[in-house]
Amino acid sequence: MEYRALSNTGEKISVLTLGTWVFSGGGTWGDVPVDQCVKTIYEAIDRGINVIDTAPFYGFGRSEEIVGKAIQPQRKKVLIATKCGLRMANGKIVTDLTPEFIQEEIDNSLLRLKTDYIDLYQCHWPDANTPVERTMKKLAQLQAEGKVRFIGVSNFEPALIEQASKAASVVSLQSQYSMLDRSVEEGALTVCREKGIGFLAYGPLAGGILTGKYTSPPNLKKSDARSFFYQYYQGKKFERVLDLLKELKTMGHPLNQVALNWVKCQQGVTSILVGCRNPEQVEHNVGAADWNLTPEQLGKISAALASLEDME
């Protein structure tokens, strides 16, 4: 496993992070038994992954509870990254990064995770109704109290990253980044490189489509995350992705590993979140960690991606 510095924290984190949105259960990703989730976490740790990313909103606490159960014997081996700032109101998801809600969130997260501190505490999504300075002041307070070691943000645009990092010591940004979603390259990722902020990439497999699993558009339920979070499964977009996969198959490695390795090779990326529902998927994804695409291969992929620029 390769390890990279997380900003100026002194911590070196694995280039792959275990993402646990899939542990939510229910319709979002399908049901995954708790015991299987725990075994998946153990496999990740055994394979050298030392960061586990979760959130209270994943299964309304289910994911955090599973992580808390699994890491008890191995707490010091892993960094726990969780989040704050999402809640349900009148049947809709709303952002809430007020100090009051953050306090409620962290108290509940600490209980579910069975720990007295969180290594990386991240704002899940921006809250347009709460000044970011007010949010950061609260997070800095939690840091001073020892409940939070490091502060991160997620899904923040460049201007908001700048504001947040002036108000507190922000060490990481978590945003979507894959061959099919490169929107961060000219903005957020550039800011992170310039400011020495770590970058955690989620969605590197674009909801699974870059694994080559689908040869025709799947019939997804409305509640399935792939139907609303990853926009590659319909019409001409799907056909273009199949053309890309033909090129990726010439790289001499499994498609999922090529997709992960491509993100790993991009300048400024610290770690890549991989969502795994079983130990076998952990093993398959970890295979991307210890090699790099050659400059020639990266050039071929860049040429193939150029033909996708008019997908939107």
| pLDDT given for residue 279 in this prediction | 96
Are 297 and 251 in contact by the 8 Å Cβ rule? The answer is yes
Identify the top-confidence range among 87-96, 143-152, 181-190, 296-305: 143-152
Return all residues near 30 (Cβ < 8 A) that are at least 6 apart: none
Which stretch of 36-50, 68-82, 238-252 has the lowest confidence by average pLDDT?
A: 238-252
Instruction: Give dist(CA 29, CA 25) in Å, integer.
Output: 6
Residue 153: count of CB within 10 angstroms of its CB: 31
pLDDT band with cut points at 50, 70 and 90 for residue 222: low
Check if 58 is active-site: yes
Question: Strand 79-84 vs strand 12-14: parallel, antiparallel, or unpaired?
Answer: unpaired
Q: What is the dihedral of CA 37, 43, 49, 55, to 10 degrees?
A: 10
Give the start-to-end residue ranges of the domains of the chain.
3-306
Cα distances (angstroms) measured from residue 116 to each of 7, 109, 113, 164, 302: 23, 10, 9, 25, 45
Instruction: Give dist(CA 151, CA 8) in Å, integer.
Output: 12
* Helix or strand holding residue 180 (H, E): none
**pLDDT digit string, tens, across residues 154-178:** 999 999 999 999 999 999 999 999 9
- Six token digits for residue 84: 């704050």
| pLDDT given for residue 194 in this prediction | 94
Q: Quick check: 180 pLDDT over 70? A: yes
DSSP structural state of residue 150: E
Which pTM does this prediction carry?
0.92
| The CATH fold of domain 3-306 | TIM Barrel (3.20.20)
User: In the block, which residue shows the tokens 């610290």?
Assistant: 270
Instruction: Give dist(CA 264, CA 201) in Å, integer.
Output: 9
Please list the residues that pair with 172 across neighbouring strands. 152, 198
| pLDDT given for residue 32 in this prediction | 87
**pLDDT digit string, tens, across residues 76-101:** 899 999 999 999 998 899 999 999 99
Q: Which pairs count as long-range contacts for 218-222, CB under 8 Å and 24+ apart, including other chains?
A: 221/27
| pLDDT given for residue 73 in this prediction | 87
Q: Quick check: 235 pLDDT over 80? A: no
Question: Which candidate in 58, 202, 230, 233 is catalytic?
Answer: 58
Higher pLDDT, 220 or 168: 168
